[in-house]
Structure 1
């Protein structure tokens, strides 16, 4: 590893990097470089004291252990350099999404949001594709930013994009992220703040789930378990699709208030009622039948089991929440079987041909059809990414909904 000198910027590196690179090469080559000789507005970078090309530095979130996310300072990686700073997981399905990535776009990140699946991986160690310490930026897969280098047709430098890489290779928690152009789409022109368009990733996954497993809910009673951002989007879209009655449950009064604004007819506080109380309340509301359609958007073992209790005979279940454990989850299959239920899981919106669900989500937000401002509750600087994850993991007392990090 070469000896480096770290220099602190006064302006973002991307605004002055070509000019300062030329200055540094000359100063280092002639032996006249000293920290005092730096020009004004010099970007942060690492300079090889032996005279090689200066390296621009960036902040990057990194999972160093289960329950521990930190911010580190690393060089901005070349676009054609594959990540190799972490060992693969020993889990049998760890290879899912781990094929070699052809990075053809480098993006200067603006914001990245924390997904519920990120919490299950980072805070609980479930579904990990890497053994900690993990690659920088992992498992970030919800981001917005600007293209600063591109080999992809249709994505020139300066294009603002939504990024949605597969989590095993996601770098959204890095100030500069590499991505294959299949996993980002340009942001539409809009009067809404660009930060609102960040929610296009989460909304897109819900649209994809409903497209992958369509159901005509007109006139039906539906139940959405969990009112995080995904659950709230299910609430909004199912009501918009014609559901006569939308029942929701969550631990957070703040989230339940947003659910009501998004069209929920009945809001059940699971912290007060408990799991059994929620089941009893839904049975009472439906004359003992249960809901016609139940969406599980939590991912916990207990809510997965409860979904079987909440749905009616011949009803349908959609298991959306990423499981919070790698252990087996036992279902009351006798009840599932005798109720003649159908159930489906949904995963992999990132690989949808043409990214149509993400594009539709962006248009819904950009047009003002859905107001996502109530969901954007907390924004942390990436330097404080550990605090961001802790808040997102225990959000109820703080009234947190979607927690994000910024890269100013």
Structure 2
């Protein structure tokens, strides 16, 4: 059986790069030789706040990587040709992108458009596509509204850009990283606030900017209990709250139900963008990047080889060295 290098979660908070068996494709699947993969905030939750028991270790080779670009080297689908360069957006059961090769259904491979910039830019379309999907699901009116976004990882920055594109009057963002906040303005943020455990800073900024009304739309892009509670706290009357951040726990998270009820908040969670029937959100993301409607050239701050997977994850998690988006090369 063929071998490949792959990252594996061998214990909570620890991944290593080792030789692993190659996943043999079946009908309808393709094999992609990875050129590059990106670390997502949800990967960090899976690794550092894992809900796995002892019997679940080690994890599957390549898991939980799901943001990648590469070249098709074997195809069992007549509609996908060997040699095509693709963005890989694998869903459940196939999120194994932290490896030399991915074997996945062809439907989760999107051919890259013509683009004279680096392939790394197009890699950003995976995360970008999930944020487009999240807002399409809500069908919200952004025109003239005050929008608050908790978290300024790549997803939070994409939400800021989308809010402005869709007509928001004021976009207020918060994060614990000064480096990320410094980037936020280039993605549309009008006000950037350094986060705090009680959410005092973001609350004051939202109330000051909305004449005390609160935010019309709140997007939680962290997944921590603190920011989940803050999202409801800063939301205004008859507002909308979007929960995008992958929860870091399976336990109940208490929140002020009376506050939610009296404000008449509408809220929803978003996951599984790869289940979108036509994958239009991801195609739109690729198109906007390729046509340079959005500038993603400064989003990636660190590039490490696959062998340094553990270092790369710690870097992204701890935000050391002013880390923004961290990618892996093969």
- TM-score, with normalisation over the residues of structure 2? 0.96
1:154 offset after TM fit, Å?
2.0
1:280 offset after TM fit, Å?
2.5
Aligned positions of 1:86-105 closer than 5 A = 104-105=29-30
Larger radius of gyration between Structure 1 and Structure 2: 1
Verify the 8 A CA contact 2:14 2:47 in the aligned structure 1.
yes
Verify the 8 A CA contact 1:106 1:148 in the aligned structure 2.
yes
Aligned positions of 1:212-251 closer than 5 A = 212-251=137-176
In the alignment, which of 148, 160, 163 is matched to residue 73 of structure 2? 148
Verify the 8 A CA contact 1:318 1:344 in the aligned structure 2.
yes
Q: What CA distance in whole angstroms lies between the structure 2 residues aligned with 1:141 and 1:127?
A: 19
Q: What CA distance in whole angstroms lies between the structure 1 residues aligned with 2:189 and 2:60?
A: 40
Aligned positions of 1:135-174 closer than 5 A = 135-174=60-99
Aligned length: 329
User: Secondary structure of the equivalent of 1:338?
Assistant: helix
1:226 offset after TM fit, Å?
0.6
User: Secondary structure of the equivalent of 1:327?
Assistant: coil
| 1:402 matched residue in structure 2 | 325
| 2:211 matched residue in structure 1 | 287
Verify the 8 A CA contact 2:94 2:103 in the aligned structure 1.
no
Q: What CA distance in whole angstroms lies between the structure 2 residues aligned with 1:254 and 1:374?
A: 12
Q: What CA distance in whole angstroms lies between the structure 1 residues aligned with 2:251 and 2:186?
A: 36
| 1:298 matched residue in structure 2 | 222
- TM-score, with normalisation over the residues of structure 1? 0.78
1:167 offset after TM fit, Å?
4.4
Q: Which runs of 5+ in 2 are unaligned?
A: none
Deviates more, 1:349-358 or 1:231-240: 349-358
Aligned: 1:379 with 2:325 = no
Q: Which has the higher contact order (CA 8 A, sep 6+)?
A: 2
Task: Deviation per CA, 1:63-105: give whole Å up to 9, x if none.
Answer: 111101110012433224xxxxxxxxxxxxxxxxxxxxx6610
Aligned-residue CA RMSD (Å): 1.6
Q: Which runs of 5+ in 1 are unaligned?
A: 1-54, 81-101
Q: What CA distance in whole angstroms lies between the structure 2 residues aligned with 1:77 and 1:322?
A: 27
In the alignment, which of 56, 67, 87 is matched to residue 131 of structure 1? 56
User: Secondary structure of the equivalent of 1:157?
Assistant: coil
